[in-house]
Amino acid sequence: MAPALSRRRQMKQNKKTIFASVAVFAMAALALSGCAAAPGSGYKACMVSDSGGFKDASFNEEAYNGLMAAKKDYGVQVATVQSPETATQTDYTTGINSMIDAKCDLIVGVGFNLANAVREAAKANPKINFALIDSSLSNDDYSPLSLPNVKPLQYDTAQAAFLAGYLAASETKTGKIATYGGMLFPSVTIFMDGLKQGVDYYNSMNGTTVEVLGASGTDSSKWAATGDFNDQAKGKTLTEQFFAQGADIVLPVAGPVGIGSGQATLDKPGTMVIGVDSDWYNLPAHAGYKANILTSVEKKMAKAVESVIKSGIDKKFTGGDANQYVGTLANGGVQISDEHEAMYPSGMAATLADLKAQIISGAITVTSMYNK
């Protein structure tokens, strides 16, 4: 019996040794995987903001979120320059050049105001890639310019604004909706024009005469604007003027200036604001009047920024106008937010979904610089 007992003890000991070896191997494998470099650890993605900064609760912040998502998801190194509120072309050039000095692999310019600075930097540094939000490049004579190391990230926001306009026309109690821009650049007026087209379509389908204040006539250079993207007091004053004229819903396409419009709704019961760029309903800067946010016309810039960074990590970056990104309803680059669907008239959510499908299919044409 003694030898058999000895063999059983030896077998148990062998099993313990095997289990211990497996455990050690597994722990070593986990340690090695934990030490493995993130896919983007050797890549540096950088960003220069437009005026308003990365906490503007709008345009710049949405783009910045994409940079931070790339840092989290891929482990990229990041660097940023926040342009001053009164930024000049010299400021933008200085910001871009500082990112070049920081040895960035990709530099994202947030906004059309950075187009000239990006153009000159890209020409002088062909081995550095650039992404330019809301603009393509042009020469000094305004003729188109396409560079292989610059990828435009643009948005056909007229499509989403059309839906917001249709919704606003169904919600207004006064028959008047208003809109204004910070400055009347194409990437601003495209919101205003899309809103107007949505209101006009609602009128044609329902026999109504809802008006759009601030975007009357076909000459967008004469539409309402505050003249900048920072002075919230101007936004509040202009919105109060619209409310005095009978409007009860306003779409401010003016970055942080739009906060003034939201504040104006607090002083005028029954009025509402439509957010732009980001989903205002979920941003702390708009919390004080979130109950008065009808919807937001969103540009999913974070998604596009993270995507272009990933293409750089994978060495698949493609630049030039032929490879520009245009966000649409079809590819999810633009949309309207839906937190307040429960407040919409019966059937409106389904109607908006149907309109979206018709725009995507081409059954409804929303004209813009991308779809003339």
Record the pTM: 0.87
Write the CB contacts of 142 (distance below 8 Å, at least 6 apart in sequence): none
Residue 298: closest CA among 333, 257, 258: 333
**Average pLDDT of the segment spanning 227-231:** 92
Beta carbons within 10 angstroms of residue 130's beta carbon: 28
Q: Is the pLDDT of residue 22 over 60?
A: no
CATH number of 157-298+340-361: 3.40.50.2300
14 residue type, one letter: N
Distance CA 45, CA 71 (A): 9
Per DSSP, 75 falls in state: -
Quick check: do 44-155 and 157-298+340-361 share a fold? yes
Domain boundaries, given as residue ranges, for the chain: 44-155, 157-298+340-361
Q: Specify the range with the lowest mean pLDDT, choosing from 140-154, 230-244, 308-322, 340-354.
A: 340-354
Provide the pLDDT for residue 26. Answer: 43
Confidence class for position 36, pLDDT limits 50, 70, 90:
low
DSSP conformation letters of 254-288? SGGGHHHHHHHHHTSTT-EEEEEES-GGG-GGGGG
Helices 186-206 and 157-171 cross at an angle (nearest 10°) of 40
Confidence class for position 37, pLDDT limits 50, 70, 90:
low
Q: What is the pLDDT of residues 277-330, one digit of tens each?
A: 999 999 999 999 999 999 999 999 999 999 999 999 999 999 999 999 999 999
Provide the pLDDT for residue 19. Answer: 42
Q: Is the pLDDT of residue 31 over 90?
A: no
The mean pLDDT value of the chain amounts to 91
Beta bridge partners of 252: 180
Confidence class for position 1, pLDDT limits 50, 70, 90:
very low
* 44-155 to CATH, choices 3.60.15.10, 3.30.70.260, 3.10.310.10, 3.40.50.2300: 3.40.50.2300
